[in-house]
Amino acid sequence: MELDRMDENDWKYHGEGNKSLVVSHVQHCRVLRLLKYPAEDSENPPQTAEQAFRQIQNIVDFTSNVMSCLLGEKFVHSGEVVRLPLEFVRQLSIKIQHQRPAWRCDKVMDIYSGCALCLPNLTSPTLHQPTPTPPLCIEIKPKCGFLPSPKHVSKDIKTRVCRYCMHQHYKVANGKWKRRSLYCPLDLFSGNRQRMHFAIRHLIEEPQNNLKVFKGGQCIYSSKEGSDESPDTNSLLHHLRPYFLRGNNRVNGHMTTKAVLNDFIQVLGNALLSAAGGDGGQVTDRTGEGRSFCEASLFNRERIRHGSQGLPTNNILSRILQTQMLDSLDIEGLYPLYCRVEQHLQDFPKDRTGLQIDGPYDQNFLEKVQKCSMEDDGSVEYAAAKVHQYRIAMTAKDCSIMVTLVPSGEEEDDDEENEKARAFSSSVSVLDLDPKPLDSVPRQLRLDQKIVSCYLRTGGTLP
Ligand code: ATP
Ligand code: MG
Ligand code: MG
């Protein structure tokens, strides 16, 4: 990529989240991830070009020095900051505007700084040989996979119903989504195949912003916020059918729709369970802790036939879960420590740098977080380390997993058991690993209170 000769016609709209907009190169397996600002600020960028550069460099550092160590470097791509010609960015923003979903247009793409994050395009893997059908990529935003400990929470419901399930009621009550999703992260993170199958099925039924499917680099399945219609599952199955015309589920040479869906979920579940970032083997079984079931999940516990499986230790889901669990005090237990840090920073503003509140996200930062003692000695260092841990956990609760399934060109074999596993080779990456700012802590506390009180008012009564 020659940065001085950029042409907007080489790039196309790829997707966006709440904080950034992504364009992909039409030929090379690259994406550019650009910052977004609230539309009110569009005439007046909230930060200078140098601050934008710093913000993106912070993302790169946080991803490579902190998240990559916690999640496993095999899964993480930190990318690099690039400076783009402003004219290119302006033309690009005009070109892609009409492809953006209306519900995302409360924010505009940053056209002032010329800075972006350049990453490999995870939905268009480089292929070593041609494949019969284009690669499939499934993006899952799994959200928080555990219940907080009763020690730190003021409302008992938080120890029984998971945050995602409570948040669903809040989102439906506020009109953000028309229907509640029956996906429960605790099922996905359980490591139990039946529960995982159940979770993935509900992600497909109501993807919201937790599931997207890409075929050959194009998004073919996702939800539209506030829309009355569910996404078209039949069209997804139509895309998937050619990938699953093997196996033992054929009825007179034709696979039922249900069989296509089951095979797809099974292949995806296998990919999630097999993705290990080091020596695997051991199993983390948390069922004994009584914190691994959410009362709002419709999965019937009695259906677990094969005892309790758990997640293999170095597995991607297990690494994400362990990182999420750095939030050991819950927002309620953390908030007083956040206040201690804030008070200290008001009294000693210069300590902001030494405490590494806004970075740099280097080795030293990671060590502070990993060596943080269990006991509160009343110091600001302890409080800052716990706040850092909480912010890292928030990143792990907000990240996405990208599963790539590359169909193998191999001939079919009669051995039906192994067929599905061999029909694809899979790989897994984690994306969206931005550090969360300090002021997200008080916002999280307010949101938590709203979600819990909404659930206590309406919980269980919504469809
Ligand atoms: P969120 O609102 O979830 O915090 P965000 O604004 O931080 O999102 P990302 O999730 O990083 O932005 O990117 C938005 C979307 O762009 C992703 O959901 C994904 O579909 C796509 N995307 C991001 N990075 C890549 C990549 N490296 N390769 C392919 N697609 C990507
Ligand atoms: Mg995202
Ligand atoms: Mg994000």
Give the end of a domain, one of 91, 120, 149. Answer: 120
107 lines ligand 1 (CB under 6 A): no
Number of structural domains the chain divides into: 2
Measured in angstroms, how far is the CA atom of residue 16 from the centroid of ligand 2? 8
Examine residue 51 and state whether it is found in any structural domain, yes or no.
yes
Distance CA 278, CA 266 (A): 23
Q: Which ligand 1 atom is at minimum distance from the Cα of 122?
A: 28
More confident residue, 2 or 420: 2
In the chain, what is the greatest distance between 2 CA atoms, to the nearest angstrom?
76
Query: 86 near 111, Cβ under 8 Å?
Result: yes
Q: Is the pLDDT of residue 330 over 50?
A: yes
Give the end of a domain, one of 87, 120, 153. Answer: 120
**Are 47 and 158 in the same domain?**
no
Cis before 442? omega within 30: no
Mean pLDDT, to the nearest integer, of 41-60? 91
**Ligand closest to CA 435:** 3
Measured in angstroms, how far is the CA atom of residue 77 from the centroid of ligand 2? 14
Over residues 118-166, the pLDDT tens digits come to 999 999 888 877 788 899 999 999 999 999 999 999 999 999 999 999 9
294 lines ligand 1 (CB under 6 A): no
192 lines ligand 1 (CB under 6 A): no
**310: closest CA among 288, 330, 338?**
288
**Are 21 and 98 in the same domain?**
yes
Please name the residue whose Cα sits nearest to atom 20 of ligand 1: 15
Mean per-residue pLDDT over the chain, rounded: 89
**Are 55 and 145 in the same domain?**
no
Q: Which ligand 1 atom is at minimum distance from the Cα of 209?
A: 3
Q: Which ligand 1 atom is at minimum distance from the Cα of 214?
A: 20
33 lines ligand 1 (CB under 6 A): yes
**Are 33 and 160 in the same domain?**
no
| Ligand 1 pocket test target in 16, 32, 78 with most atoms within 8 Å of CB | 16
**Are 29 and 110 in the same domain?**
yes
Mean pLDDT, to the nearest integer, of 416-429? 72
Predicted pLDDT at 288: 47
Listed range (247-251, 360-364, 391-395) with the worst mean pLDDT: 247-251
Residues 6+ apart with CB under 8 A from 413: 419, 422
- Which structural domain range is residue 97 located in? 8-120
Examine residue 377 and state whether it is found in any structural domain, yes or no.
no
Q: If you write DSSP's letter for every residue of 188-204 in order, what string do you get?
A: HTT--HHHHHHHHHHHH
**Are 48 and 141 in the same domain?**
no
Predicted pLDDT at 421: 47
Query: What residues pair up with 33 in beta bridges, in sequence order?
Result: 22, 117
**Are 156 and 115 in the same domain?**
no
166 lines ligand 1 (CB under 6 A): no
Examine residue 206 and state whether it is found in any structural domain, yes or no.
yes
Over residues 169-224, the pLDDT tens digits come to 999 999 889 899 999 999 999 999 999 999 999 999 999 999 999 999 999 999 87
Q: Is the pLDDT of residue 227 over 90?
A: no
**326: closest CA among 36, 130, 67?**
67
Q: Which ligand 1 atom is at minimum distance from the Cα of 139?
A: 20
**Are 180 and 266 in the same domain?**
yes
181 lines ligand 1 (CB under 6 A): no
Amino acid present at 388:
H
Q: Which ligand 1 atom is at minimum distance from the Cα of 77?
A: 27
Mean pLDDT, to the nearest integer, of 32-51? 89
**405: closest CA among 420, 392, 390, 385?**
420
Query: 216 near 187, Cβ under 8 Å?
Result: no
Distance CA 67, CA 393 (A): 10
Angle (deg, nearest 10), helices 193-205 and 233-240 = 120
**178: closest CA among 206, 155, 136?**
206
**Are 112 and 251 in the same domain?**
no
**Are 190 and 286 in the same domain?**
yes
